[in-house]
Amino acid sequence: MKEDKWIFPFMRENAGRILIILLLAILALGTGAMLTFTSGFLISRSAMPIENILMVYIPIVGVRAFGISRAVFSYLERLAGHDAVLRILSKMRIKLYRILEPQALFIKSRFKMGDMLGVLAEDIEQLQYIYLRTIFPTIAAFVLYIIVICSIGILDIPFAILMAIYLALLLIVFPICSLFLMRKKQTDYKQRRNGLYQRLTDSVLGITDWVISGRSGSFISSYEEDEVSAAQVNSRLTSFSRWRNFAQQAVSALVITSLLVWSAEQYAQGHIPATLIAAIVLVALPILDALLVVSEAFERIPGYQDSLNRLKKIENGAEQKISAQETAAKEDSVHIKLEQVSYSYTKADIPSVQNVSVDIPQGKRIAVIGRSGAGKSTLLKLIQGAIPAQVGRVSYNGKTACVQMDSSAIISVLNQNPHLFDTTLRNNVLLGSENAGDKELNEAINLAKLSDLVQKLPEGLDTFMQETGQRFSGGERQRVALARILLKDTPVVILDEPNASLDPRTEKELLQTIFTALEGKSVIWITHHLVGVEHMDEILFMEAGQIVMRGTHTELLKEKRYRQLYELDHPDFLLKKMRHD
């Protein structure tokens, strides 16, 4: 309980509301019991000769009063319950966002898309039911149990003990048996469902390739097999629930029979009138209904536990838990230095970056090239302060960068697939600075060479971009993201292969726009291609986490390996060389 961060902390925050909910739940159950009790008395009394109309008029009023109050208390209990749970749910979502935000750079590499969607769409939603369907009904049932046993004990202590044993079977024994006997199957079923979610998400994202390969039928048959397997586990759960319900109904029948016999004996001994026999038997029905739901409530606990485990896994996935995040001060000039920096993701791994030193004064432009896995992306994360240097030091203006520092005030990133939201072009650009005026907005659009595009759009800047910016081409989407960065106006800009997957002409035009628009800013450009490297002040060639070549473009052309790579990306350069030879 001390380690729990998702259930009890929110209960403590909403203790007042929860007490009101429990009070309303108990009042709803109590008035429901009184409704059946009064109804039973009224039916019995109406079957006998009536000396005075008041003998049935008062029970009639009681039935009406308890019937109305039961409905009112039930409605208020649900209203208060959902109000409290929705408040808790909103705070849970905020908490999850704050856990995910520091891991933004790692989410895709650490978690599957299906897992993330499962957490966002199912696990957080699932936890609301731990309150509505498990905690609240169970506590209300326990309070009702105590009230019932104490009430019977006033009349007959031995019979109260017997009823306590019978009702304890429904309230304690069956729920605990359901929990322990079905825990493994419940967890197995939940995990199989999550696996289906992952597979479906993965396949929907790659549905084009399934269709092109002509193997869509193969995916469907494979998915159906997994679905059947999950259905079989669910079938066993359903079968157990049926047998448990049968046993519970048998105990309920025993309770009603015992009440009937006991009330008959009480009447025979002259302790109660005959009209109370039906009332005593009928009052058991709503009480038993309240106790029967506890088994189902306990049966859901493994599912809740699995959801909690997935949330804890994401929470523990952060490199460091950030209690107070420091924001780097907004500055016009930033000098970034990496001094003998090394980093490896696990102790067993070969370092992704080792003994790297880079000096980036304000306005310097560097390109980092190398094949996939060379350590380029890790180097970017170190520069951003997203991961801490395990050896060496990364600093901004002499101040050590760390994961507790938010570097977004001084560093912007333009990556290969910038996310564009399903809103207007204006709103997508204003993401860089929501307080920017029309003058700043238009300047950013002009620098990004978007003016002609905006004029052609039906509603100009207020044209919707559609989901992920599908309305525009790849080059246009990159220019929108560039305008967003220009509006943010940070002194350092990281280019993480923004020209990848573009055709040669669009690539050259985009790079020319980027280099012109970012004049005066420090530029750190990660790239596989050597198109445009002539504009860089320094080029770093990485291999196995180390810088194996560095220098200006002119200096590196003297290196055979670099020259061959450059010629592959510049056929015209190779042609001129052949003609010269």
Exposure of 564 by Cβ count < 10 A (0-12 exposed, 13-18 middle, 19+ buried)? exposed
Q: What is the pLDDT of residue 299?
A: 80
Q: What is the pLDDT of residue 453?
A: 83
CB atoms within 10 A of CB 473: 14
Do 345 and 352 meet the contact criterion of CB atoms below 8 Å apart?
A: yes
Q: What is the pLDDT of residue 2?
A: 46
- Which candidate, 416, 347, 407, 361, places its Cα nearest to that of 381? 407
Do 384 and 494 meet the contact criterion of CB atoms below 8 Å apart?
A: yes
Q: Report the distance separating Cα 56 and Cα 42, nearest Å.
A: 6
Q: Report the distance separating Cα 538 and Cα 525, nearest Å.
A: 10
| Tokens 């609240």, residue located | 136
How are beta strands 546-551 and 538-543 bridged, if at all?
A: antiparallel
**Where do the domains of the chain lie?**
8-316, 327-410+490-580, 419-488
For domain 419-488, give the CATH number: 3.40.50.300
Q: What is the pLDDT of residue 577?
A: 55
Query: One-letter amino acid identity for 265?
Result: E
Sequence-ordered list of residues with C-beta below 8 angstroms from that of 184, at least 6 positions apart, any chain: 302
Q: What is the pLDDT of residue 36?
A: 92
Q: Report the distance separating Cα 467 and Cα 421, nearest Å.
A: 6
Q: Report the distance separating Cα 567 and Cα 573, nearest Å.
A: 6
Q: Which two tokens stand for residue 76?
A: 């208020």
Spell out, as residue ranges, where the chain has pLDDT lower than 50: 1-2, 318-325, 574
Q: Which two tokens stand for residue 258?
A: 């015992």
Tell me, yes or no, if the two domains 8-316 and 327-410+490-580 fold the same way.
Answer: no
Topology of the domain covering 8-316: ABC transporter transmembrane region fold (1.20.1560)
Q: What is the pLDDT of residue 89?
A: 84
CB atoms within 10 A of CB 208: 8
Q: What is the pLDDT of residue 321?
A: 42
| Tokens 């705070």, residue located | 91
Q: Flag whether the pTM goes above 0.75.
A: no
Q: Residue 50, SS3? A: coil
**What are the tens digits of pLDDT across the range 517-542?**
888 889 998 887 788 888 889 999 98
3-state per-residue secondary structure call for 469-527: HCCCCHHHHHHHHHHHHHHHCCCEEEEECCCCCCCHHHHHHHHHHHHHHCCCCEEEEEE
Q: What is the pLDDT of residue 74?
A: 92
Q: What is the pLDDT of residue 346?
A: 75
- Kindly state the DSSP code that residue 464 receives in the 8-state scheme: B
Do 364 and 337 meet the contact criterion of CB atoms below 8 Å apart?
A: no
Exposure of 51 by Cβ count < 10 A (0-12 exposed, 13-18 middle, 19+ buried)? exposed
Topology of the domain covering 327-410+490-580: Rossmann fold (3.40.50)
Q: What is the pLDDT of residue 6?
A: 77
Q: What is the pLDDT of residue 319?
A: 43
Q: Report the distance separating Cα 432 and Cα 425, nearest Å.
A: 12
